[in-house]
């Protein structure tokens, strides 16, 4: 365990056709790489079934950008984990800041989703991160501590389960203002310490993986890759461009 990861979050940027084309190209480019199992592609929901077919023989992982916390029932417009499971989705992004801010998802909701994802033995990516206002006031650490505590209430991990924590400062998302690699490393170490306080050091080391997201691209990936404490990246915009994405994968995973 504790592999490094590269997660592509395509958000709601591509048409169905574009998603399938890009997925096929990534698949071909990564076919021979032993580390392709550490790459996860998260398209929009409507593209999942086509990508599930496209990836059926490869070792690329398919991820979803969200899930509902109930397994099934009268929940108009929500997405069922059972159906994601049937489509061979093995990873689920939870609590992305765009969902927390635009869709008003609370840490309590994310906690319920996390419990369900673990019940189904899928891999959760839990996103946390402060906005600019909080950072300007220097309150990012206490903010992250609270987000972690609320999101991880009553979460116990079974053997072979791990949680990926994605630290994505909101002010760095889609802005080109990425955080310097050394500071990313320090923030991830802080987050790990807080996880050790909530559980213990062993669990923080063995059951949690700490990755960064926020304007990761080909210009900053080399410096991020230098720090072994940065265990991966969650990539938005740059994951939509084939060559940039492959370069990012190679820098982190080779
Ligand atoms: P960008 O890489 O476009 O800044 O997006 C980051 C992100 O939100 C990934 O989840």
3-state secondary structure of 93: strand
* pLDDT in the model for residue 2: 53
3-state secondary structure of 167: strand
Spatial separation of the C-alpha atoms in residues 252 and 228, rounded to whole Å: 10
Pocket (CB within 6 angstroms of ligand 1): 9, 96, 168, 173-174, 213-216, 234-238
Phi, psi of 217 (to 5 degrees): -155, -170
Q: What integer is the mean pLDDT of 201-209?
A: 97
- 115 within 8 A of 155, measured Cβ to Cβ: yes
> How many Cβ atoms from other residues are within 10 Å of residue 113's Cβ?
23
* pLDDT in the model for residue 1: 42
Mutate to test the pocket of ligand 1, among 65, 175, 178, 237 (most ligand atoms within 8 A of CB): 237
Spatial separation of the C-alpha atoms in residues 192 and 106, rounded to whole Å: 22
Q: Whose CA is nearest to atom 2 of ligand 1?
A: 236
Spatial separation of the C-alpha atoms in residues 212 and 198, rounded to whole Å: 21
Mutate to test the pocket of ligand 1, among 126, 175, 215 (most ligand atoms within 8 A of CB): 215
| Helical residues (DSSP H) of 87-240, grouped into ranges | 97-102, 107-119, 132-136, 140-151, 181-198, 201-206, 221-225
3-state secondary structure of 192: helix
Q: What percent of the chain has pLDDT over 70?
A: 99
Phi, psi of 125 (to 5 degrees): -115, 115
pTM metric for this prediction = 0.97
- 211 within 8 A of 232, measured Cβ to Cβ: yes
Sign of the CA dihedral running 11, 16, 21, 23: positive
Element (H, E) at 4: none
Spatial separation of the C-alpha atoms in residues 212 and 220, rounded to whole Å: 12
- In this predicted structure, the answer to whether residue 12 has a pLDDT above a threshold of 60 is yes
* pLDDT in the model for residue 59: 76
Q: What integer is the mean pLDDT of 230-236?
A: 98
* pLDDT in the model for residue 114: 98
Confidence class of residue 33 from pLDDT cuts 50, 70 and 90?
very high
By annotation, the residues acting in catalysis are: 96, 168
Q: What integer is the mean pLDDT of 211-218?
A: 97
Q: What integer is the mean pLDDT of 88-94?
A: 97
Cα 82 from chain centroid (whole Å): 20
Q: What integer is the mean pLDDT of 228-243?
A: 98
Cα–Cα distance list, 234 to 8, 70, 76, 127, 173 (Å) = 6, 26, 29, 10, 10
Domains recognised in the chain with CATH numbers: 5-253 (3.20.20.70)
């Amino acid at each position: 365990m504790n592999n490094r990861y590269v997660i592509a979050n395509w958000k709601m940027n591509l048409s169905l056709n574009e998603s399938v084309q890009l997925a096929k190209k990534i698949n071909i480019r990564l076919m021979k790489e032993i580390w392709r199992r550490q790459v996860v592609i998260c398209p929009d929901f409507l593209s999942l079934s086509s990508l599930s077919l496209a990836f059926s023989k490869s070792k690329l992982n398919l991820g979803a950008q969200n899930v509902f916390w109930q397994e099934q029932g009268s929940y108009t417009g929500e997405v069922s984990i059972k159906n994601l499971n049937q489509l061979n989705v093995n990873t689920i992004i939870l609590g992305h800041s765009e969902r927390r801010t635009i869709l008003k998802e609370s840490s309590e909701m994310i906690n319920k989703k996390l419990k369900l994802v673990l019940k189904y033995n899928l891999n959760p990516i839990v996103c946390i991160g402060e906005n600019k206002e909080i950072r300007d006031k220097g309150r990012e650490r206490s903010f992250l501590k609270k987000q972690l505590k609320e999101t991880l209430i009553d979460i116990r991990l079974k053997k072979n389960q791990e949680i990926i924590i994605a630290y994505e400062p909101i002010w760095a998302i889609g802005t080109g203002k990425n955080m310097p690699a050394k500071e990313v490393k320090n923030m991830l170490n802080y987050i790990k310490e807080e996880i050790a306080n909530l559980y213990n050091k062993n669990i923080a080391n063995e059951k949690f993986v700490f990755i960064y997201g926020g304007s990761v691209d080909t210009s900053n990936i080399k410096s991020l890759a230098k720090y072994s404490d940065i265990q991966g990246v969650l990539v938005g915009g740059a994951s939509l461009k084939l060559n940039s994405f492959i370069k990012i994968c190679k820098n982190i995973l080779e």
